[in-house]
Amino acid sequence: MEKKTVTIIAAVVVVAIVVVAAVLVGFGGNGGDDSSGDSEIASQLQIRGNANDDYTIDDKDMEILEDVMAGERSISDYPLADVNNDGNVDETDKQLLQDLIDRKDGTTVYVLCLDVNGEPTTVSCTYPLRDVVPYGTNIQLPTLYANGGQYVAGYFVSSYETAESSISDSAVDLGGSQRQISDAAWKNFTALDANTEGGLGALLVDYSGIAQITDVRAADLEAAEIPMIIYSSADAISEITTVLTLGFLFGGDCETIGVEYAQKSWDIINQIDEAVGGLSDDDKCSYICCTMYIYICENDSTFNSSASTAGGLPYYAVNQDFADTYTGDGSTKMQSVEALSNFTDVGAILNNRSMDWGLDAAGIEDLVIDTWDHDNKGVSSTMYFKGFEDRLVYINNLLPGAVKVAYMAHAMYGDDFSREWADGVLQDFIDMGTAPLDGQTLDTILAYIDHDLYMEVTA
C-alpha cells in the first residue's frame, strides 16, 4: 500500500473517531461539562430585563427592549422589558439593561419573587448580591447549590453539618430554629445588619416560613431598605429556577454554576419525560409520597409535584378514597399501622428523608437501619409499611431537585432508569463542583434506600 493511501486511511479513521466521540460526549446523556447541552433550559430567570423569558440576560433581551421602544413589539407581550418596573420602557430601562448585560457592579436589579401574601411582586437589590441571610431549608440549599454560601453573612438555622458547611463555617449563627425566628434571633439579625459594611444585601425567605416575618419585622426591613426575596422552591422545578436566579444575582462563577445546574437538571427532566412522559395513565406508575417516616403527603404537596416530574401518577388521581382523605398541601401522620392497607395497589411509596452526608461505611449502614426500622414512639416504620417493602424507597431530600427526581424515576421505572443511571446523575452534580456536594463521593452520600440495600446491610 502506498504511503499516501495509508495516510488518507489514517486521517479518515481519526476523523471518524473524533466525530463518534463528539457525538457520544455531546448527546450521551450525563456526560460532558458543557452548559450548552442538549435540552432547552425551561426555567426562566426571575429578573426584570430578561425580556425573552429565557435563562439569562443577554443581547437578545436588548433586541426585544429596543423593539418595544420602537413600538414594533408590545410591552404587554414582553413585560420584563420594563427593567425598572415603572410601567414604561424607555432609555432608563435600556441603560439599566445594558448594565445588566455588562454585569456591572452596583447595578440595581429588579427581582421577580413573591410578597408576604404569596402574590408575585418585584423587589430591588444591588448587583452582585452580597451579605445575604437565608431563612428556611428550601431557600438555604438552593443558595448553597448556586455556590452562594460564600456570600451568606448570617443564618437562622443550620441542621446539616456537612451539606451546609459552606455557611456554618463562616457566617454568623443568628440563633433561630427551623420553624421560628425568635425576637432574640431577629435582634441578632438587626445587629448583623448594623455591623455589616453597607448593610445586609437581602433576606432570602422560603415562603413556607413567611409567618415568621411579622408586620414589625417587615417594617424593620422596609425601614432599613433590606430587600426581602421570597420564593417557594420546595419542588424540583421551582428549585431550579431559584438556583438559576440566585446564581445570577451572586454573579461571576455563581451565575455559571447556576446555569450549569439548570442545564443538567433540565437534561435529566427531559430525558425522563422523553422515556415515560408519553405513557398513558394506565401505564404510568402510581405513587404515594411520604415524609418524616410515617407522614403521608397530601394531594397538593410539593413532594408530589417532584414525583410527577419523575413521570409518576399521583395515587390521589386513581383512588378517590385516598384523594378525599388526604386533601391539602401538607402531610398527615398515619393514624395506625394499617393506614395504607386500603391502598395496596399503589406502584411506589416514595419516602423523603433529609440525611446529611460525609458518611463512612459504618455511618451509612447505621443510617440505613435507622431509617428503615425507625422507631415511631414504640412502633417501627416496618410495621406501617408491611406488605409494601418491595415498593418502598427512601430518597435523600437534601439532594438537588433533579437528582431526587432521577432516583424517583428509578424507583418507579427501574427498567428504564437503572440505579447506575441515577447514581450517574448524582455523580454529575458532584462533579459540577456545587458547594454542598464538594468533596463527596457516591460512598459518602446515602441517596437512596430500598429493601435490597436494607437486606444487604442487615445480612
Partner 1 sequence: MEYEEEGLTRDGLKEEYHHAIARKIILLTVCVLGIVLFVGLLSLSNYEGVGLKETYEIIWNHILGNEYPSKSLFWWADRYIWNTAFPHALAAIIAGAALAICGTMMQSMMVNPLADPYSTGISSGACFGAICAIVVGVSFSSVTGEMGIVTNAFIGAMVPALLIVFLAQRIHMTPATLILLGTAISYFFNSMITYLMVTTDADTLQSAYMWQVGSLDGMSWDSLPIMAVVTVIGSAIVMLLSSKLNVMSLGENSAISLGVDVERFRLLCLVLMAVMTAAIVSFTGIIGFIGLVAPHMVRLVIGSDNRFVAPISMAAGALLLLAADYIAFQFSDIPVGVVMSVIGSPVFFLIILWQTRKAGAIY
- Distance of closest approach, residue 440 Cβ to partner 1, in angstroms: 28
Is residue 33 within 8 A of residue 27, CB to CB? The reply is no
Does 211 bind partner 1 (CB under 8 A)? Our answer is: yes
Between 192 and 229, whose beta carbon lies closer to partner 1?
192
The SS3 of residue 195 is helix
- For the beta carbon of residue 379, count every other beta carbon within 10 angstroms: 14
Q: How many helices (H) and strands (E) does the chain have?
A: 16, 16
Helix (H) or strand (E) holding 179: none
Helix segments in 196-252, DSSP class H: 215-223, 236-250
Does 224 bind partner 1 (CB under 8 A)? Our answer is: yes
- Distance of closest approach, residue 69 Cβ to partner 1, in angstroms: 36
Between 194 and 279, whose beta carbon lies closer to partner 1?
194
User: CA angle at residue 268 from 266 to 271, to 5 degrees?
Assistant: 105
Q: What dihedral do alpha carbons 344, 397, 176, 255 form, nearest 10°?
A: -150
Q: How many residues of this chain interact with partner 1, rule: CB under 8 A?
A: 36
Per-residue binding letters, 34-53, with partner 1 (x by CB under 8 A): --------------------
Restricted to residues 266-295, the positions that interact with partner 1 (CB under 8 A) are 292, 295
Between 214 and 380, whose beta carbon lies closer to partner 1?
214
Between 125 and 453, whose beta carbon lies closer to partner 1?
125
Does 140 bind partner 1 (CB under 8 A)? Our answer is: no
Interface residue with partner 1 among 225, 338, 360, 443 (CB under 8 A) is: 225
- Distance of closest approach, residue 208 Cβ to partner 1, in angstroms: 7
Name the nearest CA neighbour of 204 among 302, 120, 125, 107: 125
Is residue 168 within 8 A of residue 185, CB to CB? The reply is no
Q: Where are the beta strands (DSSP E) in 106-161?
A: 108-114, 120-126, 132-135, 154-155
Between 119 and 215, whose beta carbon lies closer to partner 1?
215
- Distance of closest approach, residue 187 Cβ to partner 1, in angstroms: 6
Between 339 and 383, whose beta carbon lies closer to partner 1?
339
Q: Where are the beta strands (DSSP E) in 286-354?
A: 286-291, 295-297, 313-314, 331-333, 348-353
- Distance of closest approach, residue 301 Cβ to partner 1, in angstroms: 9
Interface residue with partner 1 among 1, 216, 362, 459 (CB under 8 A) is: 216
Restricted to residues 159-198, the positions that interact with partner 1 (CB under 8 A) are 175-177, 179-180, 182-188, 190-191, 193-195
Between 181 and 402, whose beta carbon lies closer to partner 1?
181
Grid cell listed for 430 = 458532584
Does 223 bind partner 1 (CB under 8 A)? Our answer is: yes
- Distance of closest approach, residue 216 Cβ to partner 1, in angstroms: 5
Does 300 bind partner 1 (CB under 8 A)? Our answer is: no
Does 377 bind partner 1 (CB under 8 A)? Our answer is: no
Restricted to residues 329-358, the positions that interact with partner 1 (CB under 8 A) are 330-333, 335
The pair phi, psi for residue 46, each rounded to 5°, is -90, 55
The pair phi, psi for residue 176, each rounded to 5°, is -100, -160
Is residue 315 within 8 A of residue 346, CB to CB? The reply is yes
Does 359 bind partner 1 (CB under 8 A)? Our answer is: no
d(CA 83, CA 94): 8
- For the beta carbon of residue 199, count every other beta carbon within 10 angstroms: 14
Between 150 and 214, whose beta carbon lies closer to partner 1?
214
Q: Which residues bind partner 1 (CB under 8 A)?
A: 175-177, 179-180, 182-188, 190-191, 193-195, 199, 208, 211, 214-216, 219-220, 223-225, 292, 295, 298, 330-333, 335
